[in-house]
Structure 1
Amino acid sequence: MSLKGDPAWPLVLCGVKVALLTDCYLPRLGGIEVQMHDLGRHLVAEGHEVHAFTATRGADGTRHGQEVIDGVQVHRLAIPLPGDLPVNPLAPRELRSVLGDFDVAHVAMGVVSPFAMDSTRVALGLGVPTAVTWHCVQDRFRFVVQAAGYVRRWSRRGAALSAVSSVAAAPLVGLSTTPIAVLPNGISVADWAPSGELRVPPGGVVEVVSAMRLATRKRPVELVAAVGAARSELTGRGVDLRLTILGDGPLRSRVLTEGARYGDGWLTLPGRVTREELRARYLDSDLYVAPARLEAFGIAALEARTVGLPVVAPAMSGVSEFVTDGVNGVLTGPSTSELAAGIARLAGDTALLREITVTNQTSAPACDWPDVVRAAVAEYERAGA
């Protein structure tokens, strides 16, 4: 049953056929890839039929074909490109032949998303109710986006536009003729919440942890410099810091070099780990640091905060959506020195560190998947209206 143009849309939105359209998808691992997969499987659990269309090839190298992952029908529309870039200028023709059968299209936008932009144009051209969600902060590119004019065009054609945080939405405000909603990322809170006896951070040695791709945008080198500086400041106060960064990437050697400037044995880089290992590492840590300035949301920081860890992050990042300064952690200025001061302030104040830990352990954030799915469905209703 097609609901396009049905005046009763908001009242009958159940068992809807949803097309998720994203440049990147599993088996690639990243914020958009994992979030779109998780959104899809939770929509399926709510009784919707979900298909994902992507320019990412499959784990077995398949570039064109279909497979089912956690109940989601995944359509691969990839072509051979250097570095397996998720770009396919030939995709619109195929999308045009199939998207008309869907009740709603939900597009995931990154900083540069040619497949997503093509998908949006095709869906709107077919008259399919379309929701577009930005998973990035367009602050540096706002004038380019404004000059291109596609945000305004999409909103005028009825697309429901959203971003994963108010930080990510802010650069788009004024570029659209309709409101930019906030559709947050989600987690399964029960999978991350602490169980059993609550952990109380000890004095003396503070275990600092972070999880990220070791790439420039995530600022891993600056993280090491900030923790190293805080460590030097706290030495005379009987507090030592040890840092573990979970993840891998092209800056690994630079991170190790930066760490050596502040001594030996305090920095650990285990590489990429599973979600189960990540949770276990968080449970054995005392403090989480999210150093990225242009973080649209900060899913790893949200997971750490749900485990109970106090979080230190720049106030300008999307982490501020679920971390209140002095309540769930410390929000700082964007510079490395300001980040270091925030780390030293929290790690050096055992009473504050323990108070925030207890707060985070006993109060779950409002980003559980049932809530996020309801918010997504509200966006589909807005698109259908």
Structure 2
Amino acid sequence: MRIAHLSDTYLPRTGGIESQVSDLAARQAAAGHDVHVLTATLGAGGERGGVVDIERGVAVHRLGARLPFELPVNPAESRLIAAALRAWRPDVVHVHAGVLSPFAYDGARVALAQDLPVAITWHCMLDGVVGALRVGARLTGWNRRAIALSAVSDVAAAGVAGVFGTHVAVVPNGLDLDAWAPRPGSGADQAVADAGSAGSGGPVRFVATMRLAPRKRAVPLIEAVATAVAQLEPGALRLDVIGGGPALARVADRVSRLGLDDVVRLRGRLARGEVRAAYDEADVFLAPAELESFGIAALEARVAGLAVVARRSTGISSFVEDRTNGLLVDDDEGLSAAIVRLIRDRKLLADITAHNRAVRPDLGWDRVLAAAGAEYARARSLRIALQNSR
């Protein structure tokens, strides 16, 4: 099958959507499909304007332009996308969308104009904008288009269904489960060893991996940790924050102002292998974001055997069950309480980490490839039905 992926952002940018689209495309190529990615993100050497790179068997079309702040857009993107699709004529166009995805939305419009089967996957939460988008979809007719709609989790899919008023499937993010599997001697093993002690046996080691931007809520995380520390004996917890971003200075300042320099370590951006090694030394993963459509970092931590503390209303709840894989909370006060609870109740922490080490979530790449394939078949069926109705 000839598959075209359209995404505003792509490697070498780092982030959930970038890594997921790249991995999905590479695995489809390895399975024998002819896969192209069209993106507005420049290449590592500044490649743009239609340059095609071959990366892991995937043809990556760099259709962006050199703009201030490295914005992933191009005033000529519609023309460039149309030319690329016309020249290659894919069997299906898989669009990867967020709330603000001008390149992806232009690509979907161009693909529909060329009468190509289109599947759109939303990698975001639409909380707060469902009403406005619903009106926009009705006024522009997008709610009547023959498109296979999906999202990366049930929670995210509910928002998309609220916009378009139709069935929205789930194409989850995927993970190499073997690569993130627990290793002997990791932090979870120590949690089991400490299960009989209430608050003793050394500090519980927490980790949070995120882009340090306001949406990910790193500053409220630090404040929640400070609230927990105030209720605990000195030295009861340690937190590593992994990631970089525009809020780094604010996070560092809050750590200092709250007197947490001996508790919180800001480790900056780490490579995947370094993140994996950090999870070997940790017990609990903290996810403070309120608008998390899936939570790939939390999934990596859960597969590595860590307990996960996250918001109940996010996509993380699709693979974290309360008191089984971690603790689900409703607000920042609940986040602080969960931190204290896991430190004081080592038996609960040990039970959770033992379960996560023994039971894998069904989110390996075989499931994701099958879900994507089903959406491609649905997109083609919708297109045929539309043609027959004309």
The TM-score, its normalising length taken from structure 2, stands at: 0.91
The 2-side partners of 1:104 and 1:153 are apart by 21
Q: Note the alpha carbon deviations across 1:106-163, whole angstroms, 9 max, x for none.
A: 0000120000000001111111111000000011211221121179844522110001
Q: Of 149, 172, 178, which residue of structure 1 is paired with 2:137?
A: 149
Partner AA of 1:211 in structure 2: T
Task: Select 2:318's aligned residue among 321, 326, 348.
Answer: 321
Aligned pair partner of 1:28 in 1, 7, 13: 13
C-alpha contact (below 8 Å) 1:145/1:151 kept by paired residues: no
Question: Equivalent residue of 1:365, what SS?
Answer: coil
> What SS is found at the alignment partner of 1:194?
coil
State the partner residue of 1:288.
285
Offset of 1:177 from its aligned partner? 4.6
C-alpha distance in 2, partners of 1:153/1:376?
Answer: 25
The answer to whether 1:242 aligns with 2:230 is no
Of residues 214, 223, 226 in structure 2, which corresponds to 1:225?
Answer: 223
2:254 is aligned with 1:264: no
**Residues 262 and 183 of structure 1, relative CA distance in 2, 3 Å threshold:** same
Q: Within the alignment, does 1:368 sit opposite 2:364 as a pair?
A: yes
Q: CA offsets, 1:178-201, max 9 Å, x none?
A: 301111101100000113456231
Structure 1, gaps ≥5 residues long: 1-15
1:44 to 17, 25, 29: 29
Q: Which sections of structure 2, spanning at least 5 residues, go unmatched?
A: 195-200, 382-390
1:202-221 paired onto structure 2 within 5 Å: 202=194, 203-221=201-219
Between 55-64 and 262-271, report the one with greater CA deviation: 262-271
Post-superposition offset of 1:264: 2.9
- Indicate if the aligned counterparts of 2:134 and 2:164 stay in contact, CA closer than 8 A: no
TM-score scaled to structure 1, two decimals?
Answer: 0.92
Structure 1 stretches of 4+ with a deviation exceeding 4 A read: none
| Structure-1 residue corresponding to 2:65 | 79
Deviation (angstroms), 1:257: 2.0
SS at match of 1:214: coil
Size of the aligned set, in residue pairs, is: 367
Q: Secondary structure in 1 aligned to 2:327?
A: strand
Q: How far, CA to CA, are the matches of 1:151 and 1:371 in structure 2?
A: 36
Distance 1:309 1:195 in 2: 11
Name the stretch that deviates more: 294-303 or 167-176.
167-176
> Partner residue of 1:13?
none
Q: Which residue of the partner structure matches residue 130 of structure 1?
A: 118
In structure 1, what is the equivalent of residue 388 of structure 2?
A: none
Report the Cα distance in structure 1 between the residues aligned to 2:131 and 2:113, rounded to whole angstroms. Answer: 26
Q: CA deviation at 1:324?
A: 0.2
Q: How does 1:341-352 map to 2 (within 5 A)?
A: 341-352=337-348
Contact 1:239/1:348 (<8 A) preserved: no
SS of 1:149 mapped into structure 2: helix
Q: Distance in 2 between matches of 1:165 and 1:58?
A: 30
Query: 1:227-264 CA distances to partner (integer Å, 9 max, x unpaired)?
Result: 121122122xx761111000111111211222221343
For 1:347 and 1:146, the matched residues in 2 are separated by 45
